[in-house]
Every structure is written in C-alpha cells, then in structure tokens.
Amino acid sequence: MIKVAIIGYGNLGRGVERAIKQNEDMELVGVYTRRTPESVQTEGAKAFTMDQLTLKKGDIDVCILCGGSATDLPTQTPEWTHLFNTIDSFDTHAKIPEHFTKVDQVAKENQTTSIISTGWDPGLFSLNRLYAQSILPVGETNTFWGKGVSQGHSDALRRIEGVIDAVQYTIPNSEVIKKLKAGEQLTLTTRDKHFRECFVVLEVGAEEEKIREEIISMPNYFADYDTEVHFISQSELDQEHKAMPHGGTVLHTGITHKNTKQVIEYNLDLQSNPEFTASVLVAYARACVRLAKEKQFGAYTVLDIPPKYLSPRTDEELRKELL
C-alpha cells in the first residue's frame, strides 16, 4: 500500500481524499492543515497540524500538496521536499522553470522525488501538446479552455467595490474550433479564441452600468475579450453557479506531405475541476513513489514520466490489455 498525506484541505484536498478511495493500492495517512485540525470537515480522514507532519518521516510515501500556486506552493513544495516525496499542481506557467529549479535542488540534496505542475493544464494538456508537436512537427497547436469557471477571474470580479459575489465562465469559441478542425488556416487573436461570461451579485445601491464598464475594461482579465456581464441575486448565484465544471481542448492540426491534413484532438469535459485535478495528482503520486524507490531523486514533470508508472498494473498486464 502506498501511504499518502494530504497537505492543505480545500476543494483540491477534498478531491484527493475522494480519489484515494478509488485506488486500491493507496491509503490516506492523514490531512495536514494550518487550521485547527478539529475545524476541518474531512470525509473520514484524520486531520493534524502541519507541525505533526515533521514527525512522520518514514511513515509517509508521498505528500500531495493541495495549496494554491500564488503563495502556498512556491514555499511549501521546496520545504516539504526536504523530508518527503511530493506532488504539486503549481500552475503559474511563467514561473514553472524557477519552481522546478528550486524543488530539484532540494530533492537532489535530500534524496527525495518530486513531480511538480501536475493536473490538466499544466499536465495532461502539456503532454498532448508534446506528443502532437513531436509527431506532426509541421503543424500548429491551439489550446482552448472551458466552458468552465476560472477562479482567478472570479476573484478579480469579487475585488471590485460594490460586488458581493461573482462567478466567471471562460467559454471557447466553438466556431473557431470547427474551422480549425476542418483544416482552415486562421490567424487568431486572444479575442477570437474565448469569450468570458460573468455572473455578479451587487450590493444594494451599486451602479450596474459603472460596474459593467469597470469589468469589461479591466486589463489582463477582461479587456482583451468579448465579455458578457449578468447581474443576478445571491440565491440564484448559489443555486446555479456554484458547481465547478471545466474542461477544454488541445487541437493540433498538421500536414504530413504537400496538403495531407492530420488532426489530433484531446478533449476534457469535467463536471468537477478540483476532483479531476485531484485524480491526476493521485496517479502521479504512484509514479513519484516508484521513481523514489528506483532512487531517481530530483524534480520531474509529467513530460519526464514513463506513462506506465501511473498505473498499478504490471508491464505484462499493460502490454496484454492496453496495446
């Protein structure tokens, strides 16, 4: 049995607890939290303080870090990799090389193994970009996200004065996807690829038109997109928009000779983004433990990991059943 610890218990941590129950070769040792353990409502797992984790070296095969990329993981992953094999879902794309270097150094010095930036993007989408571009080097890859909730954009809406609560959906342009799949050559701007749709709850007396204007002109978040804003009640937001669906498409259109078109398409349609991400983390946790057993210490990403390391089945079974 692979002994797993969860560090941080929000939506992702809960997803990992659920995913571990679906994997017969894994057992959950505990949830480690910065909160008082008694206040954490798990689904059966025991909760402990972070301090208690330090004492567990030798009793845990791998720690799955379920904190956020903005402030938690940049310090937590290097810190816990001193003592444990670790997995994280660090997803600030521009800072991945720096994060990798830091974790790699700690892991090599302490003979541990860490797989960073797992999940679906970065993660499964990165893998599909790699396979597609390696197989069809004359071609173009486009990634589309959604329809799904973007936490970053929802947070940006909530920071606006006069906004009580909000949810933002990223919506891919299905017409553009259809044209690319049909082999059309398109020059695409940011605005062409995705729309944004916002559901916003206002304070009493807040001015709708002023806030709508503030949203659609917000740089980095909305200014470069066609954005639709709906003002709704808190109860409607709670009832209709608190699920966390997501998904997306990696579409690679290539040419093998003259004008012979070849299309590779990878789609995810997820009813729960955090539960799916958690399932990816758990599969890579298995790979992490296997690498550590082989004394392959250091930091890795999904691009490095032999696919079979994700599976509990033997090489012979995989060749027989999946090839």
Q: Which residue from 146, 98, 102, 85 is spatially nearest to 121, judged by alpha carbons?
A: 146
Instruction: Report, in Å, the least distance between residue 272 CB and its own copies.
Output: 5
Instruction: Report, in Å, the least distance between residue 136 CB and its own copies.
Output: 6
- Please state, in angstroms and rounded to a whole number, the distance separating the CA atoms of residues 90 and 101: 13
By CB under 8 A, tell whether 316 contacts its own copies.
yes
Q: Annotated binding residue at 121?
A: yes
Q: Annotated binding residue at 259?
A: no
Length of the chain: 323
CA 67 to chain centre: 11
Q: Annotated binding residue at 80?
A: no
Instruction: Report, in Å, the least distance between residue 73 CB and its own copies.
Output: 14
Q: Which stretch binds its own copies (CB under 8 A): 44-52, 66-74, 159-167, 264-272?
A: 264-272
Nearer to its own copies, 216 or 310 (CB): 310
Nearer to its own copies, 204 or 323 (CB): 323
Q: Annotated binding residue at 170?
A: yes
Please give the structure tokens belonging to residue 258.
């003259």
Binding test (CB under 8 A) with its own copies, winner from 38, 175, 257, 295: 257
| Helix and strand numbers, DSSP H then E, in the chain | 12, 14
147: cis peptide before it, omega within 30°? Answer: yes
Binding test (CB under 8 A) with its own copies, winner from 11, 133, 142, 173: 133
Q: Which stretch binds its own copies (CB under 8 A): 29-37, 187-195, 196-204, 273-281?
A: 273-281
Nearer to its own copies, 21 or 158 (CB): 21
By CB under 8 A, tell whether 185 contacts its own copies.
no
Please give the structure tokens belonging to residue 105.
């150094």
Q: Annotated binding residue at 130?
A: no
Instruction: Report, in Å, the least distance between residue 190 CB and its own copies.
Output: 18
Q: Annotated binding residue at 187?
A: no
By CB under 8 A, tell whether 130 contacts its own copies.
yes
Nearer to its own copies, 42 or 262 (CB): 262
Binding test (CB under 8 A) with its own copies, winner from 72, 129, 200, 229: 129
Binding test (CB under 8 A) with its own copies, winner from 280, 285, 288, 291: 280
Specify the 3-state DSSP secondary structure of 60: coil
- Rounded to 10 degrees, the C-alpha dihedral 8/12/17/20 comes to -120
Any residues with CB less than 8 A from the CB of 23 and at least 6 apart, and which?
Answer: 282, 286, 312
- Please state, in angstroms and rounded to a whole number, the distance separating the CA atoms of residues 205 and 162: 8
Binding test (CB under 8 A) with its own copies, winner from 117, 150, 168, 170: 117
Please give the structure tokens belonging to residue 112.
């541990």
E strand segments, 99-207: 113-115, 139-145, 148-149, 163-172, 194-202
Q: Which residues pair with 33 in a beta bridge?
A: 49
Q: What string marks each residue from 7 to 36 as x (binds its own copies by CB under 8 A) or -? A: --------x--xx--xx-------------
Binding test (CB under 8 A) with its own copies, winner from 197, 214, 226, 275: 275
E strand segments, the chain: 2-7, 26-33, 47-49, 62-65, 86-87, 113-115, 139-145, 148-149, 163-172, 194-202, 226-231, 246-255, 261-270, 298-300
- Please state, in angstroms and rounded to a whole number, the distance separating the CA atoms of residues 195 and 242: 20
Name the site residues for its own copies (rule: CB under 8 A): 15, 18-19, 22-23, 93, 96-97, 100, 117, 122, 124, 126-127, 129-131, 133-138, 181, 247, 254, 256-257, 260-272, 275-276, 278-280, 283, 286, 301-308, 310-312, 315-316, 318-320, 322-323
Binding residues for substrate: 145, 170, 196, 246, 273
